[in-house]
C-alpha cells in the first residue's frame, strides 16, 4: 500500500481490504457487474454500515437500488493492494507450523511468495520444501539483502526477539509473528501478531460466556 493511501484510509478499514478484494475478485470472475452492500455484508460477514463507511474511503459511492460497480472496486483494490508488485517473504523456523506455511505458500495471493526459509536444525537446512530452499540461520544476512520485505516468524518464542533484531538490521519492513512473544521493533517496522493458541482460547471463552443459546 502506498503512503498516500495509508494516510487516508483508517487502519481498521485497511485491514479489511484484502477480504473485500478476494470477494470482489470472485464476483468479477463470475461475470457480475454490481454488488449491493447487503450482499457484500452477507459474504464477508462485516455489517453493511461498516462496509458503506469503508467504501466511502475508497471513493466508491454505491447508489440505492444499484449497489457498487464491481469493475471499479476491482481496479481500486488491485492498485491499492499493489497486486502487480510481488512481495517476497522469508519464513524463519521450519517446524510444524512453518512447514505448513511453506507448503501452502499463499498460492491464491498472486502478490506474495515465500521465497526462502531459514532454520538451525541440520536435518532441515539444505532441503527444499515445495521448491522453497531452506538455509541455515547463519546465512540469513547473506541471502536476505534488500530483496525480501516481509518475514514470517514460526520459531520458538525464546529466540523470536533476537531474530527480529537481525531482521530489522537487514531491512525487513514487516513481520508476521506467530510466536507468543511480544516483539520490540523500531516504529518504522510493522508487526502483525497472530497467536493461534490465544485465538483458540478466546473463541472457547466466548462460546462459554457469550453464547446466545
Q: Which residues form the interface with ligand ATP (CB under 6 A)?
A: 92-98, 118-121, 124, 137, 154-156, 159, 163
**What's the min distance (Å) between Cβ of 29 and ligand ATP?**
34
Q: Closest separation between CB of residue 156 and ligand ATP, Å?
A: 5
C-alpha 85/C-alpha 90 separation (Å) is 16
Torsion, Cα of 150, 153, 154, 160 (10° steps): 160
Residue nearest ligand ATP (C-beta atom)? 95
φ, ψ for residue 46, nearest 5 deg: -125, 140
**Cα–Cα dist 202/212, whole Å:** 16
Cβ 80 to ligand ATP, closest distance in Å? 32
- Alpha carbon separation from 210 to 46, 197, 203, 205, 213 (Å, rounded): 19, 19, 10, 8, 9
The alpha carbon dihedral of 151, 155, 157, 162 has a sign of: negative
Indicate the residue among 35 and 151 with the shorter CB distance to ligand ATP.
151
| Cell matching residue 128 | 527444499
Nearer to ligand ATP, 92 or 183 (CB): 92
Q: Which is nearer to ligand ATP, 94 or 151 (CB)?
A: 94
Residue 97 CB, nearest approach to ligand ATP (Å) = 3
Cβ distance to ligand ATP smaller for residue 19 or 159: 159
Amino acid at each position: 500500500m502506498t503512503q498516500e493511501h495509508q494516510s487516508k484510509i483508517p487502519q481498521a478499514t485497511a485491514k479489511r481490504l484484502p477480504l473485500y478484494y478476494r470477494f470482489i475478485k470472485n464476483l468479477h470472475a463470475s461475470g457480475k457487474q454490481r454488488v449491493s452492500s447487503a450482499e457484500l455484508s452477507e459474504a464477508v460477514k462485516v455489517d453493511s454500515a461498516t462496509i458503506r463507511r469503508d467504501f466511502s474511503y475508497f471513493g466508491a459511492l454505491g447508489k440505492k437500488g444499484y449497489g457498487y460497480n464491481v469493475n471499479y472496486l476491482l481496479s481500486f483494490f488491485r492498485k491499492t493492494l499493489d497486486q502487480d508488485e510481488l512481495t517476497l517473504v522469508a519464513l524463519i523456523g521450519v517446524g510444524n507450523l512453518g512447514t505448513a506455511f511453506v507448503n501452502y505458500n499463499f498460492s491464491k495471493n498472486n502478490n506474495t511468495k515465500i521465497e526462502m526459509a531459514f532454520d538451525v536444525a541440520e536435518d532441515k537446512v539444505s532441503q527444499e520444501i515445495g521448491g522453497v530452499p531452506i538455509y541455515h540461520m547463519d546465512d540469513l544476512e547473506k541471502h536476505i539483502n534488500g530483496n525480501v520485505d516481509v518475514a514470517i516468524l514460526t520459531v520458538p518464542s525464546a529466540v523470536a526477539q533476537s531474530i527480529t533484531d537481525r531482521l530489522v538490521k537487514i531491512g525487513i519492513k514487516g513481520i508476521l509473528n506467530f510466536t507468543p512473544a511480544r516483539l520490540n521493533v523500531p516504529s518504522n517496522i510493522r508487526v502483525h501478531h497472530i497467536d493461534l493458541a490465544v485465538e483458540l482460547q478466546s473463541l472457547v471463552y466466548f462460546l462459554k460466556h457469550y453464547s446466545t443459546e
